[in-house]
Amino acid sequence: MKTLIVALGGNALIKFGEEGTTEEQFRNLRVPISQIAELAKKYNIIITHGNGPQVGNLLLQQEATEFVSKRPLQILVAETQGQIGFMIESTLDEELMKIGLDEEKLFLTILTYVKVDSEDPAFKYPTKPIGPAYPVRTRSGQVKTAKGWRQVVPSPKPKKIYQWREIKKLMELGSWIVIACGGGGIPVIKEEKRLYGVEAVIDKDLASSKLAEQVGADILLIATDVEKVALNYGKPDQEDLENLSVSDAKKYLKEGQFPDGSMGPKIQAVINFMEAGGEKAIITSIEKIKEALEGKAGTQIILDN
């Protein structure tokens, strides 16, 4: 069986305009997880996921009171790995039972930490949006995005997924669905043979691509809030793309068609994956995961002839 990585965007749990209640998040998860459960008949699967809304909410919660100690961002990332991992696991368990695969398929959330470079320029120039979007600027450190004003934090590039061997071994066993690289992974640097967490959030798509490279995954599918990659997004001459070659992806990325904080990292992730020997990469919506794998939806990333 081929190994498929499905990278779920933040909207898999909290859609734009929602409060992000537990009930909303569980309800939203059923859309991608029901498809992933079906796909488990055909693929070995690794699920990765974002955590922007959740980690942003944790930051707001601890800023709302002086009666609890403040936890650094890397600890909050670890917390969301457990939080979202539980929600995915419990939803996956129910969906596997519905189709009679609960005895055949095992699943596990792996606390994942990721090596980053302490000299990465991202620490000087934060670009990663987290937390809710506001119609107006409410605090320093916010930038205007397509969805509104959001806080941004450093987002260094992932250099290595430390748990890749364990994940690869589970894929080789064939019966496991692994949840990993939650929120892009816990960012760490290595100094004198010790690992130290750093205040940052790694982009989950770039981390997913790095994990795919390390475990030798065949397919990388990035699920987001649009069905297809588009040129001139949001403009009258918007053009949705069914196919996108690696060379064109590089060209459009350089031209600024895919900005940081939105489609840019996704495009870079699929470029990295395909150039590292990946068989297939797809970008599509949460609702179209299964259709996109059948070639009926999404943007298919293709190698140049």
Q: Are 155 and 202 in contact (CB under 8 A)?
A: yes
Bridge partners for 196 per DSSP: 189
Cβ-proximal residues to 139 (8 Å cutoff; 6+ apart), any chain: 151
How buried is residue 214: exposed, middle or buried, by Cβ count under 10 Å (0-12/13-18/19+)?
middle
User: Mean pLDDT throughout 286-293?
Assistant: 97
3 state DSSP class of 264: helix
Nearest to 230 by CA among 246, 249, 214: 249
pLDDT of residue 305: 66
pLDDT of residue 68: 85
User: Mean pLDDT throughout 103-120?
Assistant: 96
CATH number at residue 193: 3.40.1160.10
- List the domain range (segments joined by +) for residue 237: 2-302
pLDDT of residue 119: 94
pTM of the shown model: 0.92
Mean per-residue pLDDT of the chain: 92
Residue 196 tokens read as: 């130290």
pLDDT of residue 184: 95
Active site residues: 10-11, 128, 204, 266
Asked whether residue 153 carries a pLDDT value surpassing 90, the answer given is no
Q: Are 129 and 145 in contact (CB under 8 A)?
A: yes
Quickly tell me which residue has 């998040």 as its tokens.
25
Instruction: State how many domains the chain has.
Output: 1
Quickly tell me which residue has 């996921």 as its tokens.
49
Please report, rounded to a whole number, the percentage of residues in the chain having pLDDT higher than 70.
99
User: Mean pLDDT throughout 242-251?
Assistant: 97
Q: What is the pLDDT of residues 163-173, one digit of tens each?
A: 999 999 999 99
Bridge partners for 6 per DSSP: 47, 221
Asked whether residue 268 carries a pLDDT value surpassing 80, the answer given is yes
What is the C-alpha to C-alpha distance for residues 237 and 249, in angstroms, rounded to an integer? Answer: 18
User: Mean pLDDT throughout 175-184?
Assistant: 96
pLDDT of residue 255: 95
pLDDT of residue 74: 93
Residue 2 Ramachandran class (φ > 0 left, ψ -120 to 50 alpha, else beta): beta
pLDDT of residue 215: 98
The answer to which of 123-132, 155-164, 188-197 has the lowest mean pLDDT is 123-132
pLDDT of residue 284: 97
Nearest to 77 by CA among 178, 158, 191, 143: 158
